[in-house]
């Protein structure tokens, strides 16, 4: 029940990472976004999600804490519930937070009560804190310059629609290249292939060229009689594609935040012990994917509206710049070994695109509120986990 509750919260909060810019830019309706994201998250979680999970998320506490199966079981249960409660509270307040950092914070709390402050890897935790700055700033810069490039190449031209059509293979190709590289290096299925960077770049470039020019042909055929709304019609179609990729990858990557601790509990109950990694049955991945999908359907609209509408006004070209900057940030930073959060990158991208139109175009009031919640995520999840651990220890 608690694992399902965590999955539900991941869907309700993290759906904004993939669909907020598309909804804010009116590329798709809220109902369409919820349906598309729900299906793609189930597919991503079940078929691309990891079938093996690390018992210690992000190496944040020493493995010896899990030597006692009874303590490990109680700790995993407390971590799962404390992370879920924090994400649930943030979703109720319509604010996006990192579900990964919620689990990390909860594991810190478990580590402290189980083995003291010495078992916590403070360097790793410091890297998590750094990501509050790295992710949004990196994404902000990419989003800012990407939108400026779109303005220079397309929106300022007298024949803006034709310019958008001419440049569409380039923008589609960039999106495809980033998505393909992210799939190969950021999803559990892609990582299992163990492809070299050079080979991955060659495959991604080939896909970018083929899909870029094929999509240009299809867009031209589809829109040749209807050029209303000019270049935005073209970017609308590109943006839907990038949003769908992010939703698929979200299901693959984020399902571990709910199913990881649940798999540990399941493994302890089945075998009586726990190792550094545990296998995750397919039914648990499907279980997590369905939970995420239901969270999207029942609670996703709150955070989608915050990210897509309350920070800055988005058009389809701006929305594309947001999606591209977030995906690129996560890919590049991950390859450099830097800690990143898709949630933080998405917010940074929205800010960057807004600031490309001037400082006054960004609602810094809501940005400040979001950042306060980012900072609170780790300590609140940790303290809640400590309280729940002692409560469960007393009961069990």
Q: 3-state SS of 305-342?
A: HHHHHHCCCCCHHHHHHHHHHHHHHHHHHHHCCCCCCH
Indicate whether 54 pLDDT > 70: no
pTM as predicted: 0.87
pLDDT at 227: 60
Tell me the range of 99-108, 189-198, 249-258 where mean pLDDT is highest: 99-108
Strand, helix or coil for residue 157: coil
pLDDT per residue as tens digits for the range 154-212? 988 888 888 988 999 999 999 899 888 888 887 777 777 788 889 989 999 999 999 99
Where do we find the tokens 């078992």?
119
pLDDT per residue as tens digits for the range 216-239? 898 888 877 666 667 888 888 888
The b/e string for 160-191 (b: 16+ C-beta within 10 A; e otherwise) is: bbebbbebbbebbbbbbbbbbbbbbbbbbebe
Higher pLDDT, 49 or 338: 49
pLDDT per residue as tens digits for the range 277-306? 778 888 888 998 999 999 999 999 999 999
Indicate whether 82 pLDDT > 90: yes
pLDDT at 206: 95
Out of 59-68, 76-85, 259-268, least confident range:
59-68
- Phi/psi of residue 293, nearest 5 degrees: -60, -40
Where do we find the tokens 């990158």?
345
Pairing of strands 277-279, 52-54: antiparallel
**What is the spatial distance between Cα 329 and Cα 346, in angstroms, rounded to a whole number?**
9
Domain extents for the chain?
2-395
pLDDT at 257: 83
**What is the spatial distance between Cα 220 and Cα 319, in angstroms, rounded to a whole number?**
21
């Amino acid at each position: 029940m608690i694992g399902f509750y965590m999955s539900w919260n991941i869907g309700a909060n993290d759906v904004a990472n993939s669909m907020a810019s598309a909804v804010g830019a009116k590329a798709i309706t809220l109902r369409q976004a919820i349906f598309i994201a729900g299906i793609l998250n189930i597919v991503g979680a079940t078929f691309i999600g990891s079938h093996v999970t690390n018992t210690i998320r992000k190496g944040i506490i020493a493995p010896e804490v899990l030597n006692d199966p009874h303590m490990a079981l109680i700790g995993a249960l407390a971590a799962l519930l404390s992370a879920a409660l924090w994400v649930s509270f943030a979703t109720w307040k319509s604010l996006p937070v990192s579900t990964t950092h919620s689990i990390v914070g909860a594991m810190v709390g478990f580590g402290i009560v189980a083995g003291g402050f010495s078992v916590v890897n403070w360097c790793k935790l410091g890297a998590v804190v750094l990501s509050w700055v790295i992710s949004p700033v990196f994404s902000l810069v990419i989003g800012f310059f990407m939108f400026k490039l779109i303005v220079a190449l397309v929106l300022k031209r007298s024949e803006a629609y034709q310019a958008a059509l001419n440049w569409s293979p380039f923008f589609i190709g960039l999106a495809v290249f980033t998505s393909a590289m992210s799939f190969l290096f950021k999803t559990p299925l892609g990582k299992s292939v163990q492809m070299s960077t050079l080979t991955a770049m060659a495959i991604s470039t080939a896909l970018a060229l083929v899909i870029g020019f094929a999509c240009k042909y299809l867009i031209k055929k589809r829109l040749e009689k209807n050029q209303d709304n000019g270049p935005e019609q073209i970017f609308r179609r590109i943006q839907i594609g990038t949003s769908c990729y992010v939703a698929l990858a979200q299901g693959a990557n984020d399902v571990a935040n709910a199913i990881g601790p649940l798999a540990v509990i399941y493994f302890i109950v089945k075998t009586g012990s726990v190792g550094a990694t545990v296998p995750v049955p397919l039914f648990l991945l499907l279980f997590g994917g369905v939970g995420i999908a239901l969270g999207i359907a029942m609670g996703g609209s709150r955070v989608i509206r915050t990210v897509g509408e309350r920070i800055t006004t988005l058009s389809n070209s701006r929305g594309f710049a947001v999606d591209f900057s977030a995906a690129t940030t996560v890919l590049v930073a991950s390859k450099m070994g830097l800690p990143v959060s898709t949630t933080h990158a998405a917010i940074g991208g929205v800010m960057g695109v807004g600031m490309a139109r001037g400082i006054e175009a960004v609602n810094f009031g809501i940005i400040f509120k979001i950042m306060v919640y980012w900072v609170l995520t780790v300590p609140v999840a940790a303290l809640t986990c400590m309280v729940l651990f002692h409560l469960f220890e007393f009961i069990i």
